[in-house]
A = this chain, B = another copy of it.
């Protein structure tokens, strides 16, 4: 649309009209039937996407708030081990360092997690394991099931960051033994930024830290959430709840399997285009790691500057993402998250392809046609 930028980044992402319109409401009292119903609708709709029967709470704060809620409620003074192969893994390790005795097990960004080092840390008494399921900074999907299995074997708690996978890719928190799982509102659910959701297992409740953060105190969320009608312990971001409820209902209507299949098909199309162009993905796959289905990280060919490509694409009204921190200038990233469909992906690929050509790169083959093969 004229005067609008199509956000094809790994979040925030374009919102459906229903979600935007849901915010156009006068203020309501957040302690009452209507608000409680909104909250309850979200929880019901989220459970299958988390793959959990555990309680779920909505936090009025971004995904980072949910990361801190996870670690701050079960990690205080404990031995925490954080698996890191990207920016968000690193953030979890940073937060772990504020609350506990942290060991970061680092891989090169986009490379497989070091599970043998994790096993060793667990042998040595690690009590809490953190992992980013879908590491968008490097476009890699990490093996949550295997990490959860290792954690459970050594009776450690497993905190799984599903911020950019839940609602878009397959997640089975309970089967994988994820004691705490988190998601952000502005990612695969295509709602506005500012909310996050967190699920908490019985094992996590049993090991709740004595001294917890206040605004993010899960015990307070549990107490308020068990009221009828449901409440939050402190004033919630009400318009965002209205919007997120609508986004959850849309996801519920589409259905779990359809939604996951759509996300995978869109990512397949982006990967097909990259392959046709002769460009490599950043993530290094193995039997346990694969490229993300919600954000594709593509290595720049020699001679193409990040700012040239992204500003060229921006001129066509589309925003893609560059690399973060140490990956700045080395990759560009295309999000396929939330409510987008073939038209947005094709527009993006056409714009990227044309801009690459304009900048002097000659694609090996037509990426748009390759994507189209996947999409229809």
Contacts and interface: CB of A to CB of B under 8 A. Distances in A.
Interface of A: 1, 4-5, 7, 9, 11-15, 20-21, 23-30, 60-65, 67-68, 72, 94-95, 98, 184, 186, 192-195, 211-216, 234-240, 243, 319
A186 B20 contact: no
A242 B67 CA distance: 25
Contacts of A12: 27-30, 235, 238
A61 B215 contact: yes
Contacts of A95: 214
A206 to B, nearest CB: 21
A193 B235 contact: yes
Given A4-B26, A12-B235, 18 more contacts: A5-B28, A7-B28, A9-B29, A12-B28, A12-B30, A12-B238, A20-B25, A24-B24, A60-B60, A60-B237, A61-B65, A62-B237, A63-B234, A65-B215, A72-B213, A192-B239, A194-B235, A213-B213
Give this chain's copy count: 2
A26 B15 contact: yes
Nearest to A9: B29
28 contacts: A1-B26, A4-B26, A5-B28, A7-B27, A12-B235, A20-B25, A20-B26, A21-B24, A23-B24, A23-B239, A27-B193, A30-B193, A64-B235, A65-B215, A68-B215, A95-B214, A192-B239, A193-B235, A193-B237, A194-B194, A194-B237, A194-B239, A194-B240, A195-B237, A215-B216, A237-B237, A239-B239, A240-B240
Contacts of A60: 60-62, 65, 194, 237
Contacts of A26: 1, 4, 14-15, 20
Q: Which of A11, A20, A237 has the most CB of B within 10 A?
A: A237
B239 A27 contact: no
A236 B237 CA distance: 12
Given A13-B27, A194-B194, A239-B243, A98 B65 contact: no
Contacts of A62: 60, 215, 234-237
A64 B29 contact: no
A13 B68 CA distance: 30
A319 B195 CA distance: 27
Q: Which of A68, A192, A243 has the most CB of B within 10 A?
A: A192
Nearest to A338: B27
Nearest to A60: B194
Nearest to A98: B214
A21 B239 CA distance: 12
Contact of A236 (B9, B23, B28, B193): B193
A311 to B, nearest CB: 12
A192 B35 CA distance: 14
B235 A184 contact: yes
Q: Which of A60, A68, A95, A212 has the most CB of B within 10 A?
A: A60
